Structure 1
Amino acid sequence: MKKVLLLLANGFEAYEASVFTDVLDWNMEEGDGSTKLITCGLREKLICTGHLTVIPELLISQIDVTEFDALAIPGGYESMGFYEDAYSDNFLSTIQKFNKAGKIIAAICVGALPVGKSKVLCGRQGTTYHLNNGYRQQQLASFGVNVVNQPIVLDDNIITSSSPATALDVAFKLLEMLTSLDNTRHIKHLMGF
């Protein structure tokens, strides 16, 4: 069983988290059945976009990185406190531990910013939200990341992306890296893509 930790900061984008839950659940039901997703946060209750309340299965203090094969990080809204959680020592330390163990890290949109701030992308390629005069890309570059203006950037074990529009593609890329291209094509077909 391939286990994915969905690391959620308060103010995360519901859509960006849901692509991971949906694609990996389709794989469990209709694919090779090899992926399991576990939600995690710094708090017992998180408020995401749309003011939905989410109760993560684990608190960040309960994580054992050795039990997981990948880390998934959706972006979020600054106005809802996303960066307060995403830039916290515990959040950044978790990213560092996954990278040090050679695990896959998949970040959507501004979910790439804590990955950059954790220094695991320093000197490597990545991308993040590209609109608003490239403000978020400049932030990512300030963390030592070689910013590539592409929808999705894969640098070894780390996937980053430029907007919510790329979310499903990131989830499918993660599934492909965890399983196979054929299995991912099968799931995409069944989901109507």
Structure 2
Amino acid sequence: MKKVCLLLPNGFEAVEASVFTDVIGWNKEEGDGTTELVTVGTRKELKCTWNFTVIPEMVIDDADVNDFDALALPGGFEQAGFYEDAYREDVLAFIREFEKQGKVIASICVGALPLGKSGILQGRNATTYNLNNQLRQKQLAAMGANVIPDQSIVIDNNIITSYNPSTAFDVAFTLLESLTSRENTDHVKRLMGFLV
């Protein structure tokens, strides 16, 4: 069984997290059955960007990178406190350990910024939120990433980044394909109505 850690900082966007739970969950029940997802929060109770409250299955202090095969990280809003949690040293160290072990890391939108802050995107191709004067892409570039501004999803070896919430399902399916196969992912896409 391949286990995905869905890392949830306070202030994350629920829709960006939910695509991972749905795609990995659909695969567990209706696909090849080889994946499962565990929600790991920075707090025992989290408030999403739009005030939706979530209780994760475990907190980051109790999570061991060795128990997981991949890391998934949604973005969030500064006004909701996303960066306060996403830039905490324990979060950045957690991300660094996934990279050190060569595990797949998938982020959506500004979920790439904690990756950049951790240092794992130094000299690597990546992207992040692309609108609003490309403020977030400029921030990611200042962290050492080689930002590909007009590409919706950028894959650099084991790291997947994307440029806004519209890419969420595509990132989740890309993660699933990296853990299983193209054939299995297409099967799950068909079951979910993404392929005819």
Give the shorter-chain TM-score range: over 0.9
Aligned match of 2:169: 168
CA distance in 2, matches of 1:64, 1:110: 24
Aligned match of 1:54: 54
How much does 1:85 deviate? Answer: 0.2
CA distance in 1, matches of 2:108, 2:93: 19
Deviation by residue 1:117-141 (Cα, 9 ceiling, x = unmatched): 1000101100000001110000000
1:162 aligned partner, one-letter code = Y
1:190 aligned partner, one-letter code = L
CA distance in 2, matches of 1:18, 1:49: 13
CA distance in 2, matches of 1:112, 1:49: 17
Superposition map of 1:88-167 within 5 A? 88-149=88-149, 150-167=151-168
- Where 1:50 maps in the other structure, the secondary structure is coil
Deviation by residue 1:56-91 (Cα, 9 ceiling, x = unmatched): 111111111111000000000110000000000011
- Where 2:85 maps in the other structure, the secondary structure is helix
CA distance in 1, matches of 2:6, 2:64: 13
Query: Percent of counterpart pairs with the same letter?
Result: 64
CA distance in 2, matches of 1:70, 1:122: 20
TM-score by length of 2: 0.97
Kindly report structure 1 stretches of 4+ aligned residues shifted beyond 4 Å: none
CA distance in 1, matches of 2:109, 2:187: 26
CA distance in 1, matches of 2:78, 2:183: 38
Question: What count of residue pairs does the alignment treat as equivalent?
Answer: 193
How much does 1:51 deviate? Answer: 0.9
Structure 2: where are the runs of 5+ without partners? Answer: none
Deviation by residue 1:24-53 (Cα, 9 ceiling, x = unmatched): 110011100011100011210000033111
- Where 2:39 maps in the other structure, the secondary structure is strand
CA distance in 2, matches of 1:134, 1:50: 23
2:26 aligned partner, one-letter code = W
CA distance in 1, matches of 2:146, 2:49: 29
Superposition map of 1:178-193 within 5 A? 178-193=179-194
**More displaced 10-residue stretch of structure 1: 72-81 or 45-54:** 45-54
Aligned match of 1:10: 10
RMSD (Å) for aligned C-alpha atoms: 0.5
Aligned match of 1:70: 70
Structure 1: where are the runs of 5+ without partners? Answer: none
CA distance in 2, matches of 1:153, 1:50: 27
CA distance in 1, matches of 2:69, 2:29: 19
1:80 aligned partner, one-letter code = A
